[in-house]
Structure 1
Amino acid sequence: MLPASLTLVGAGKMGGAMLAGWLRAGLDPARTVVIDPSPSPEATALCAEHGLALNPASSAPADVLVLAVKPQGLAEAAPGLAPLVGPRTLVLSILAGKTIADLMARLPTDAVVRAMPNLPASVGRGATGAVAGAGVTALQRAQADALLACVGLVEWLEAEALIDALTAVSGSGPAYVFHLVEALAEAGCAAGLPQDMARRLARATVAGAGALLDADPREASQLRRDVTSPGGTTAEALAVLMREDGLTALMREAVAAAARRAGELSG
């Protein structure tokens, strides 16, 4: 269900990662255009390797126009993007804080999908939330789903209002996990481990637990119980983490703060 033609505007870290995934999945290089006024060496090399048109003098509207520029650059870029939108073009936006209504006001289209990928998309293990505007056809939604699925899990939201909560969970979530590694390593140091060893152990432990979680279809709660012997060391630690003011309460507060800020940024 990949589109026959695609134009990517913005080939930065996220846009470039998604483009690489699309090409691996079979996107036609001959009908793929990349527009980026300051392409990175990696993006330039990727375009050269696959024969993609990079910043052509002109370009016809494609089946899908992907917006991956910085959100604050949309106002300046929008007038130049209008000619790239045809009557059957789907606009797929990964711009944080830019609503479907905002995009429709700036571009001549009523077919907009708003998506929020996260950083692990750069290694093909992303978690992306998406919501389709009222003008998106079934075929366009399927094309958007196919593109987003190239870099990981895709979850479709019933209402755009939910995207702030999704941003707070999966969009910002990798940073929470990275901080968990930092905190675990620091705790290891406090318990007497050498700093470098604690860092390696914390990193490998979290990465390994994530790999196990991905490979085992059982719920995380069941996996937690499986590694917790009654009266053992893990149970003793979990008694701290699972107390009333423990990790669950702290994570709920953190996600609520992130969702609130996402709403403020989207106006």
Structure 2
Amino acid sequence: MTGSNPAHDTLAFIGGGNMARSLIGGLARRGADTSRICVAEPVAALREALAADFGVQAFERGEEAVAGAGLWLLAVKPQGIQAACAPLLPAARAQGPLVVSIAAGIPVARLQEWLGGDLPVVRCMPNTPALLGAGVTGLFAGPGVDAAGRQRAEDLLSNAGATVWVAEETLIDAVTAVSGSGPAYVFLLAEAMEAAAVAAGLPAADARPLVVQTLLGAGRMLAEAGEDPAALRRRATSPGGTPQAAIETFQAGGFEALVAAAGHAARGRGAALASAGGA
């Protein structure tokens, strides 16, 4: 958040919920001047907590928060984003900001329509580990987003974790199915593993750390070993050993097909949200 243009130094958040808080916290940890961050949040308690914790400027109304801001982060639930955009229309036309949206299912064209012009819009799909700075965000740059705009969006979202750009907007639905929804898949696996451990006789207090650390360790191996998942699986699966017996059981139950079907269902729901948002 530096530069010669004051408007480009000012960042406006529309919505002050968990995701906005995680991004603001990341900016604060990196030494950003949080007094140049403006947040619009209708819930007084959230607004006051953001101001007290991070020193941001907090407002009840969006049009107050965006005044003079060169980058707007739309952190509003999809069903409320059209109403949130309506009062921002005059400022959007006057200021021509870069707009970054994390509202699931709302296409770039619809956001441009609601904000009254061909604004540069970056559409993003973060995931819940972003709240710990350990997330991953898929990003799509709409028409008119230049290299500088892409960099500004990436700099902002990298406060929540890794970033991956996709070339087509429809691929955001695939991002939603993989990383946006993926933490829930892992939690479901953890839930099932814990239940199986308890059923096998382990106390629940022992089952939890065994499962959690297993998933953490496997994730680190995926991130750090420099091998693809199939290679790591083969290396962890001795012929005739216990992992092989378990994996054969998974595969006999159609594990891969079930994961594929789950991803297809998530993509379909994402497309439906996009259609509803574009209605």
For structure 1, list consecutive stretches of 5 or more residues without a partner in the other structure.
none
For residues 154 and 39 of structure 1, what CA distance do their matches in structure 2 show? 32
- Following the alignment from structure 2 to structure 1, what is the Cα–Cα distance between the partners of residues 45 and 206? 35
User: Once the 2 structures are TM-superposed, how far is the Cα of residue 102 of structure 1 from its aligned partner?
Assistant: 0.8
Matched, 1:191 2:196: no
Number of positions where the alignment pairs a residue of Structure 1 with one of Structure 2: 265
Q: What pairs with 1:26-37 in structure 2 (closer than 5 Å)? A: 26-37=31-42
Aligned identity (percent) is 42
1:82 paired residue number: 89
After TM superposition, the structure 1 = structure 2 runs for residues 130-169 of structure 1, keeping only pairs within 5 Å, are 130-169=139-178
Question: Match for 2:164: what amino acid?
Answer: E
The residue number in structure 2 matching 1:6 is 11
TM-score by length of 1: 0.91
Give the C-alpha shift of residue 56 in structure 1.
7.0
SS of the residue aligned with 1:261?
Answer: helix
2:5 alignment partner in structure 1? none
2:54 aligned to which of 28, 50, 54 = 50
Indicate conservation of the 8 Å contact 2:136/2:179, yes or no: yes
- Give the secondary structure class of the aligned counterpart of 2:9: coil
Asked if 1 retains the 8 angstrom alpha-carbon contact of 2:101 and 2:124, the reply is: yes
Contact 2:138 2:165 in 1 (8 A): yes
- Residue matched to 1:181: 190
Cα distance in 2, alignment partners of residues 99 and 182 from structure 1: 34
**C-alpha displacement at 1:33, in angstroms?**
0.5
Within 5 Å, which residues of 2 pair with 1:209-220? 209-220=218-229
For 1:95, the aligned partner's letter is: A
The question of whether the paired residues in 2 share the 8 Å contact of 1:117 and 1:126 is answered with yes
Deviates more, 1:220-229 or 1:60-69: 220-229
Residues 9, 68 of structure 1: 8 Å contact kept: yes
Partner residue of 2:74 out of 55, 63, 67: 67
Say if 2:266 is the partner of 1:258: yes
What amino acid is the match of 1:70?
K
Match of 2:113 in 1: 105
Counterpart code for 1:29: T
Q: Which amino acid aligns with 2:40?
A: I
CA contact (8 A) 2:24 2:54 kept: no
- Classify the secondary structure of the residue corresponding to 1:163: helix
| Distance in 2 (alpha carbons) for counterparts of 1:225 and 1:35 | 51
Q: 1:114 to 1:20 in 2, by over 3 A?
A: same
- Gapped regions of structure 2 (runs ≥ 5): 3-7
Cα distance, 1:229–1:74 mapped onto 2, change above 3 Å:
same
Q: Which residue of 1 aligns with 2:24?
A: 19
1:183 Cα deviation after fit: 0.8
The whole-number CA distance in structure 1 between the counterparts of 2:101 and 2:32 is 18
Contact kept, 8 Å, 1:4 with 1:27, in 2: the verdict is no
Q: CA–CA distance in 2 between the matches of 1:50 and 1:263?
A: 36
TM-score (norm 2): 0.88
Contact 1:14 1:68 in 2 (8 A): yes
1:264 is displaced (CA, Å) by 1.0
Deviation at 1:150, TM superposition (A): 1.7
**8 A contact 1:11–1:39 mirrored in 2:** no
Give SS of 1:160's match: coil
1:26-63 CA-to-partner distances (Å, cap 9, x unmatched) read: 3322321011011555x633422432111077352311
Partner of 1:222: 231
Contact 2:10 2:70 in 1 (8 A): yes
SS at match of 1:153: strand
Structure 1 residue 93: deviation in Å?
Answer: 0.3
